[in-house]
Chains A and B, each alone.
Chain A
Amino acid sequence: MVKSTITFGPQHPVFPEPIQFILKVVDEKVVLAEPQIGYVHRGIEKAFELNDPKDNIFLAERICGICPAPHTTAYVRGVESLMGIEAPPRAKYIRTIMNELNRIHSHILWAGLLGDAIGFESYFMQTWNYREKVLDAIEKISGHRVTYAMNAIGGVRRDMTNEQLRGLEKTMDYVESSLENIEDVMKDYTIKKRTQGIGILTEEEARRDGAVGPTARASGISQDLRTSGYDAYGDLKFEPVVVNNCDSYGRFAVRWQELKQSIDLIRQCIVKMPSGEILTKSNNPMNGEAISRVEAPRGELFYYIKGNGSKKLERVKVRTPTFANIIPTVTMLSKGCQVADVSVIVLSMDPCISCTER
């Protein structure tokens, strides 16, 4: 029985971004975990106040390298409600498509990272190969694979041609068949061994600690902001994916089913795509307060925006899903896991540290 301290991170191969967990271990067993955050604070919230609101879209896009679409959507929706305007229907559909493409690539990325964390490199490579096709589809639509720059205040910047819609449909077919190809990793003995029963978060704990997104949905909480029907989601048919496993395998399963759900949502969008304008121009002053919430791949993304009638915003506050999920992660870690499971558990909530610390 040797008690020792392990500083897991901030530089650790399993974390793409810096976060530290100070683990107290007895042999291989973790008895206490303490998160340390604050390594990549960039002062973006302050920068929001200094820039022009329309330039802020590009700033919001750079809060997170993986989900630029939800961040900009949340920001422009907030500003739009301050201005009292609404995006035209076609713009809303294009936004929805970008958000869902974003979710697909983010979930595939996550699935690959999980493979890497448990030493399944070929699976990691294969999923990322499939993800590349999704990024290509995004680049064909928006002009860039990571920073889409699609949203504008009052609509979107680029329209989608019929050709692009058809191309997107083909990509969706490809992604669906590739996912089917690799789906049997869900039944793999070693993957089950590493994820089932690891990182338990019961429903009460998830509610108490305020878990959001797939982390909450894997604990049996039916909570998906898309059901509130913002953008085009009101017109689309879908049910939030909920499973009751309460462990890392459950979170894996939720994301895997959400991938299929997103593919279906994009198909619905393509079929229902309305025609018309893509941008509502407006010079209304921004006065008052607004909140806007969007379901990002990792969970609920929250923006609070305050304007004072001048050309610049007075305050922008962002709460990211990872921030809400850190406490549940500590709960999972403190239940006495092994050192080998720390990376799986932390990854299972899909941490995005840069967007948490901004």
Chain B
Amino acid sequence: MNFQPSILFSILLSIAAPFIGMLILGFDRKITARMQNRVGPPILQPFYDVVKLFGKSELMVKKAQILFALMFVGTLLLSTVLLCFGGDLLVIFFLISTGMIFYTLGAYSVKSGFSFIGGNRELYQMLAYEPIFMLTVFSVGLITKSFRVDQIFGLEVPLVAIIPLPLVSMMIVFLIKMQKSPFDISTAHTEIISGPMIEYSGGYLALLKIAHWYEIFLVIGIMSLFFVVPGNPVLTVVSMAAAGLAIYFVSIIIDNVTARVHWNTMLRLSAAIGITLIVVNVAIVYIVAYIAGGA
């Protein structure tokens, strides 16, 4: 434990988190536009969108929706802060899941067909990515012998050198969370018109957008934990940022070369690829340790 992020750094990071997510989203839209040979919106477009939404009048179908939107943002905010302060990965994971439950409840709380199907699909998505996410957290825990984020900084080698395959599986989680093809099924705008978000408007829709910024930061943050270089703070920051951006770039590419699949295809793919990869990798780590120990 020769590197402890300072308190000040953690506070700054948790304040900057949504804006980092926002900037990444802005670059995403720009790069996607360039890949499609378009001009694309300004980098700050997600920010302008949210500012504009806050200026709009709100038309909510049910009061309960507001509560669920606030809870959703609240839990994500909490887990972001936990991540920035090096908290427990397991708690972070459960907080994110709770947030998604609130999001789904918000979708279910209104009487709209598209919102209802969106809620259903959100649950299917959770069914697809939660096992991968949890197993990844577990495999990190097995390696570091703890679920605390700051333990990762105390390892001898970067996590990616020991367990690279869960990172590949996490890519599936990432695609689902970022609402990218082939797994953008819950917000599929040509099928169910943004599903769970359809009955939100004005400031509360803006809240959901901000929650999405948090999500981006959280998932990229957790994935780039694999690239912590122990004992070298500067290199750690550089490699984490580079890894985060690289992961995002890969997801943009995948988004641009695939079509959206059915929810059952998604479940099958995530179970077959995601879970197998993690299990194989953990098994290899143990076998290697056994052989090394036996020899």
Contacts and interface: CB of A to CB of B under 8 A. Distances in A.
Interface of A: 2, 4-7, 12-14, 25, 27-28, 115-123, 125-126, 129, 188-191, 193-194, 338-340, 342-343
B256 A339 contact: no
A190 B193 contact: no
A193 B262 contact: yes
Interface of B: 32, 35-38, 113-114, 116-117, 120, 181-182, 184-185, 188-193, 255-263, 265
A194 B261 contact: yes
B193 A193 contact: no
Chain A to chain B: the 4 pairs with minimum beta-carbon distance, closest first: A119-B260, A6-B113, A125-B36, A190-B259
A115 B258 CA distance: 10
A298 to B, nearest CB: 20
A340 B120 contact: no
A343 B117 CA distance: 15
Contacts of B257: 122, 188
A119 B190 contact: yes
Nearest to B112: A6
Contacts, number: 87
B113 A14 contact: no
Contact of A340 (B182, B191, B255): B191
B230 to A, nearest CB: 39
Contacts of B113: 4-7, 25
Contacts of A121: 32, 36, 181, 255-256
B190 A190 contact: no
Contacts of A338: 262
B36 A188 contact: no
Interface of B is mostly: loop
A208 B262 CA distance: 31
Contacts of B256: 121-122
B38 A125 contact: yes
Given A6-B117, A28-B120, A28-B263, 13 more contacts: A118-B190, A118-B260, A119-B182, A121-B181, A122-B35, A188-B259, A193-B259, A193-B265, A194-B261, A338-B262, A339-B191, A340-B191, A340-B260
B120 A13 contact: no
Contacts of B188: 119, 340
B117 A339 contact: yes
7 contacts: A25-B113, A115-B259, A118-B260, A119-B188, A126-B36, A188-B258, A194-B259
A4, A120, A342: most-surrounded residue (chain B CB, <10 A):
A120
A14 B190 contact: yes
Contacts of A123: 259
Nearest to B111: A4
Contact of B116 (A4, A119, A193): A4
B36 A120 contact: no
Contacts of A12: 193
Contacts of A188: 257-259
A125 B190 contact: no
Contacts of B258: 120, 188-190
A27 B113 CA distance: 10
A5, A27, A115, A340: most-surrounded residue (chain B CB, <10 A):
A340
Contact of B117 (A14, A28, A122, A189): A28
Contacts of A13: 189-190, 193
A122 B254 CA distance: 11
A5, A115, A118: most-surrounded residue (chain B CB, <10 A):
A118
Nearest to A124: B36
B260 A194 contact: yes
B216 to A, nearest CB: 19
B260 A339 contact: no
A339 B185 CA distance: 11
B260 A190 contact: yes
Given A28-B117, A119-B181, A339-B192, A194 B262 contact: yes
A120 B189 contact: no
Given A125-B36, A129-B37, A193-B265, A119 B117 contact: no
A303 to B, nearest CB: 34
B190 A116 contact: yes
Contacts of A190: 181-182, 258-261
